[in-house]
Structure 1
């Protein structure tokens, strides 16, 4: 079953460029808090992107993923679990 939630993100200081085409925010539903380093390794092996993905932990199993290229992100959104 697919479940999605919209998260309202606050606008920053305006000093950064628009990277929305290479970023994702994902919530992993789990009964315990996950180790972000383990999540990073598993995601990179499962998604099989051409280039490295940078993973940052947020709160309660919410992770920020930054891709190096748009094609990897688009493929993940379309095909990956």
Structure 2
């Protein structure tokens, strides 16, 4: 896990060293963003409860509403995330769940959600 000890033995932290960027990439490595492709808003609470129970991850997954029918999935480990992708495609209430891997923080508005593994 990434962390910075600002009062540790090394003195100051050089942010240009790339450590902060690597830590951010590692955190994004446990995330997916998904959009339910539906013409109307789905019942978000029902989707979150249904998905959490159905996916049966080893260490759990935190699901947050990003905007509309778009959700952020934060996994505790990369294996759970990989397994979810391999077991798809997923749907809820007749709506296909399109999943994307975020590359940078704040990418959700630029994501197209135009691919699904069938």
**TM-score using structure 2 length:** 0.50
Q: Is the counterpart of residue 37 in structure 1 residue 37 in structure 2?
A: no
- Where in structure 1 are there 5+ consecutive unaligned residues? 1-13
Counterpart residue number, 1:17: 24
- Where in structure 2 are there 5+ consecutive unaligned residues? 1-19, 91-118
SS in 2 for 1:56: strand
Matches within 5 A, 1:1-81: 17-18=24-25, 19-80=27-88, 81=90
Report the aligned-residue RMSD.
1.9
How many residue pairs are counted as aligned between the two chains?
A: 68
SS in 2 for 1:31: coil
Structure whose CA Rg is larger: 2
- Indicate if the aligned counterparts of 1:36 and 1:56 stay in contact, CA closer than 8 A: no
String of CA shifts for 1:11-53, please: whole Å, max 9, x gaps.
Answer: xxx6873212110000101232123322111111221111221
Runs of 4+ in 1 over 6 A off after TM superposition: none
